[in-house]
Amino acid sequence: MAVAVPQPADAQKTGKTKAKARYLKKKKERRKHRKADAAQLKQSVPAPAPVAEAAPDSDDPSESSDDDEVVPVVAKDKEPPRKRRKTDVTDSEDEEGLAISSFNEDIALAENDAPHARSPTPTAAFPSFPLPVVPDAPSKRTLALQGLDKALLGAEIVDPTRTMSVNALDADRQLIAGAGELQLIGEKMRKRLRDLGINELFAVQTALLPFLLPPQRHHRALYCPYDPPRDVCASAPTGSGKTLAYVIPIVEILSSRIVTRLRALVVLPTRDLVVQVQETFEAISKGRGLKIGVATGQHSFAHEQAQFVGAINHCKLISGGTSKVDILICTPGRLIDHLTATPGFTLQHLRFLVIDEADRLLAQSFQDWLAQVLAALRPSTRPIDEGVSEPSLDPSITSPTHSPTSTLSSTASTLTPILYHDAVAPSFLPHIATDLDDPKHTACQKLLFSATLTRDPARIAALGLRDAKYFIVQGSGGEGDDTAASMLGSEEFAMPAALKEHYITMTSSHKPLILFYLVHARGVSNALVFTKSAASTARLVTLFGFFEEAYSTTTTESEAAEPKKRIIAQAYSSDLAPSERKTILEKFKKQEIDILICSDLVARGLDIPHVAHVVSYDAPVDLRKYVHRAGRTARAGCAGDAWTLVEDQEARFFKEMLRGAGPGRFEQVVRIALAKLKEAYSRTGA
Ligand SMILES: Nc1ncnc2c1ncn2[C@@H]1O[C@H](COP(=O)(O)OP(=O)(O)OP(=O)(O)O)[C@@H](O)[C@H]1O
């Protein structure tokens, strides 16, 4: 039987010694290599500094024990051991040689760079730092893009000359037929546009329609809680057709609806604009069965409720709200009134929220209207078992943030709600929360429009836009990225291409004369004349009446044969009752009135095609106001003239303002012969 004999202690020792011998041999070889490297380096570097070398605890390899750390040894020069150790700590054994030689190179370079600046203490261990340099000035592009909203940086710049023929849209039928996809706009819409004399889509429409009307059927759905559409901000010059850019897609998408619910809400700053946009919707949606309502406060509250909500007692019981209109056009004030006090009025089914003249509306804090509307759009995130009992499906009841509903909640709690499950928008349905839930979103797509859309990130953030896409219709005015970037960064606004702009400087007392000069010598008629207030409007109309009286009865011999046509001017301001304003506007549209002297009430959005001249009798105080006033003419590609009367003391400010508006487009009218007009003016006794 074999017995395991224990190995003698000597044999164990021998085995260990062999390994140690191998190890020491290798160590010697490494040391040789290092010495050879160091020698080479000495030859290649002219005046090497005393190099920090290893100072191992023991030089002699034979003294190292089995547990010895392998300490790199390069040379035996005097060097503070601490520094050496510090360097060594980071060097792996295999890379020692390389690490040290590159370190030496650093030292050598540093010494070469500054041979005279050597300090008495050894500096060799410190790396050299680059000398401070003046950085290049940031590019124009970098500066322009500072602090801009991320979405704005990805804006699509649309060439104002880009158009799309309505007839050419017939052709896209073949392209997508059979793929389950839809044409950009259907046959009915194309026919309607042609009937209205619209044969070509303008730049803003050409850019927006494909975005708002994607060919895939599911992207045009009325509800898309898991794949909601992106929001849109569009900035395009006045009179460039922004209204149709949202009216056409809304009508196209809503035409597929079966049940009438409030699916599009258009918010505008004034009643006049509400009426104008209502007319556009009615013209475009003719024959589609869509119901359009307005809420401006022109009619009684009860009348409006009956018009677009229906019988109040019934709708109190419907959890998803009720609506007699598909599209509601309103002013923000009246919208908030209905949100807070009309039972059954809900925004949960909204597919579109349009904020036209967005920069003006965003600046209005009236009843905090925007926050209230956004809260009403937000589905409740609370699961069904939290807080509210199941029957109460009305979001107004489930959502604590939805203040409009306090009236309804209290009423509803005393009634037994009828559960119309189909009446609740999918994202508003109460649910049993699970970990697998995908968040549900409202399908509402926000569309913002203005000729002077704000680029202020704070204002934009307040809207809580969803992955917004920007469209800016503006000629870049030059080649290259820098121009486009600086255009994005600056608040420069595009003007209609066919607009001619003039300004005249004068003393304040000459202003009425200059206006008469423009009317009688420069043929300014079919004109809007803007003053700074309703009171100035009334004064100027009276003065103009006196002057016309005197002027039309004055005849020189040459003029006797042909009596002068008397120019009719009328005031249009907030001092007038809505019905009076409507009548005056109608007369102006029929050209029974030549000049409308108005306050800034009609400076925005008003579309009267025959306006050929705009006169800023009182110079506008900011560029936005100027852009909107001037934009009442030269609309839809027609020609037009904008005149600004600038008092001497305002001239500097006005010119500076124009400089901010981009490259000079203005013509300054300098020589005006006022003698004849002065004479007539003196006869008015004014
Ligand atoms: N494709 C088109 N073809 C012909 N006319 C058009 C087209 N699109 C719009 N228009 C007409 O152009 C005029 C100006 O349109 P719209 O009022 O929408 O301009 P806007 O961009 O909203 O101007 P603003 O900024 O002043 O409100 C309207 O009379 C409109 O009917």
Over residues 70-81, the pLDDT tens digits come to 334 333 444 444
Shared fold status for 150-379+441-471 and 499-554+565-684: yes
Find, among 294, 292, 291, 250, the residue nearest to 271 by Cα: 294
For 513, phi then psi, to 5°, come to: -65, -40
**Most confidently modeled range among 142-151, 197-206, 215-224:** 197-206
Q: Decide if pLDDT at 274 tops 80.
A: yes
Higher-pLDDT residue of 226 and 532 is 532
Ligand 1 atom closest to Cα of residue 236? 21
Q: Is the pLDDT of residue 47 over 60?
A: no
Q: Is 85 exposed, middle or buried (CB count within 10 Å of its CB: 0-12, 13-18, 19+)?
A: middle
Centre of ligand 1 from the C-alpha of residue 184, in Å:
20
Residue range 465-491: average pLDDT?
Answer: 69
Q: Does residue 451 have its Cβ closer than 6 Å to ligand 1?
A: yes
Residue 525 predicted with pLDDT over 80 = yes
CA distance 340 to 373: 11
pLDDT at 284: 96
Q: Measured from the CB, is residue 605 less than 6 Å from ligand 1?
A: yes
Contact 66, 20 (CB under 8 A): yes
Whether 647 is in the pocket of ligand 1, judged by its Cβ within 6 Å, is: no
* pLDDT reported for residue 78: 43
Tell me, what's the pLDDT at 263? 93
Residue with CA closest to ligand 1 atom 12: 636
Q: What is the residue-wise DSSP string for 318-372?
A: BTT---S-SEEEE-HHHHHHHHHH-TT---TT-SEEEEETHHHHHT--GGGHHHH
Over the stretch 445-475, which tens digit does the pLDDT of each residue have? 999 999 988 777 777 778 888 888 999 998 7
pLDDT bucket at 108, cuts 50 / 70 / 90? very low
User: Which residues lie below 8 Å from residue 219, measured CB to CB, with a gap of 6+?
Assistant: 227, 229
Q: For the domain with range 499-554+565-684, which CATH number is right: 3.40.50.2300, 3.40.50.300, 1.20.120.160, 3.30.70.150?
A: 3.40.50.300
Q: Whose CA is nearest to atom 14 of ligand 1?
A: 239
Please tell me the predicted confidence (pLDDT) of residue 351.
Answer: 93
Integer Cα distance of 365 and 112 in angstroms: 68
* pLDDT above 80 for 330: yes
CB-count burial class (<10 Å; 0-12, 13-18, 19+) for 290? buried
The CA 496 to ligand 1 mean position distance, Å, reads 12
Question: Residue 402 has what pLDDT?
Answer: 41
Q: How confident is the model at residue 411 (pLDDT cuts 50, 70, 90)?
A: very low
> Is the per-residue pLDDT at 50 higher than 50?
no
Predicted local confidence at residue 522, as pLDDT:
86
Q: Ligand 1: which atom is nearest the Cα of residue 240?
A: 21
From 208, 209, 242, give the residue whose CB has the most ligand 1 atoms within 8 Å, as the site to mutate.
Answer: 242
- Whether 613 and 525 have beta carbons less than 8 Å apart is answered as yes
What is the mean predicted confidence (pLDDT) over 90-110?
A: 39
Question: Which of 50-59, 145-154, 278-287, 352-361 is least confident?
Answer: 50-59
Distance CA 650, CA 300 (A): 44
Write down the CATH superfamily of domain 150-379+441-471: P-loop containing nucleotide triphosphate hydrolases (3.40.50.300)
In whole numbers, what is the pLDDT of the chain averaged over residues?
Answer: 75
Q: With bands split at pLDDT 50, 70 and 90, how would you rate the model's confidence at 264?
A: very high
Q: Give nearest CA residue, ligand 1 atom 10.
A: 241
Tokens (6 digits) for 516: 């008469």
Is the pLDDT confidence value at 620 over 70? yes
Query: Per residue in 337-369, is it b (16+ CB within 10 Å) or e — as a string?
Result: bbbbebbbbbbbbbbbbbbbbbbbbbeeeeeeb
* Ligand 1: residue whose CA is nearest its atom 22: 242
Between the ranges 199-203, 319-323, 464-468, where is the mean pLDDT highest? 199-203
Please tell me what DSSP assigns to residue 640. Answer: E
Residue range 139-167: mean pLDDT, rounded: 78
**Cβ(404) – ligand 1 distance below 6 Å:** no
Query: What pLDDT shows up at residue 559?
Result: 57
SS3 100: helix
Which of helix, strand or coil describes residue 434? coil
Q: Does ligand 1 have an atom closer than 6 angstroms to the CB of 234?
A: no
Q: Which amino acid is at 143?
A: L
The pLDDT of residue 58 is above 50: no
CA distance 301 to 141: 52
pLDDT at 584 over 80: yes
Expressed in angstroms and rounded, the spacing between residue 162 Cα and the centre of ligand 1 is: 15
Ramachandran quadrant class, 440 (left: phi over 0; alpha: psi -120 to 50; beta: rest): beta
Of the two residues 486 and 33, the one the predictor is more confident about is 33
What is the reported pLDDT for 467?
A: 87
Please tell me which of 354-368, 502-516, 553-567, 664-678 the model is most confident about, judged by mean pLDDT: 502-516
Query: Does residue 457 sit in helix, strand or coil?
Result: helix
What digits encode the pLDDT tens for the residues 81-92? 454 444 443 344
Name which of 313-317, 635-639, 648-652 the model is least confident about: 313-317
- The pLDDT, as a whole number, for residue 209 is 94
Tokens standing for residue 491:
């608040």
Ligand 1 contact via 200 beta carbon (within 6 Å)? yes
What sign has the CA pseudo-torsion 307, 310, 313, 319? negative
Displacement of CA 461 from its chain's centroid (Å): 9
**Does residue 135 surpass a pLDDT of 90?**
no
- Extents of the domains making up the chain: 150-379+441-471, 499-554+565-684
pLDDT average, residue stretch 385-410: 41
pLDDT of residue 183: 80
Give the predicted TM-score (pTM) of the model. 0.72
Ligand 1 atom with the smallest distance to the CA of 607 is 17
Q: How confident is the model at residue 656 (pLDDT cuts 50, 70, 90)?
A: confident
pLDDT at residue 114 greater than cutoff 60: no
Report CA(390)–ligand 1 centroid distance (Å): 48
DSSP string, 244-311: HHHHHHHHHHHTT-SS----EEEE-SSHHHHHHHHHHHHHHTTTS---EEEESSSS-HHHHHHHHT--
Ligand 1, residue 628: give the atom nearest the CA.
Answer: 26
Question: What pLDDT does residue 184 have?
Answer: 84
In terms of DSSP bridges, do strands 499-506 and 292-295 run parallel, antiparallel, or are they unpaired? Answer: unpaired
Q: Is 644 in the pocket of ligand 1 (CB under 6 A)?
A: no
Tokens of 669: 């009218």
What percent of the chain has a predicted confidence (pLDDT) above 90? 30
Distance 312 CA to ligand 1 centre (A): 38
Give the ligand 1 atom nearest the CA of 632: 26
Give the mean pLDDT of 219-243: 88
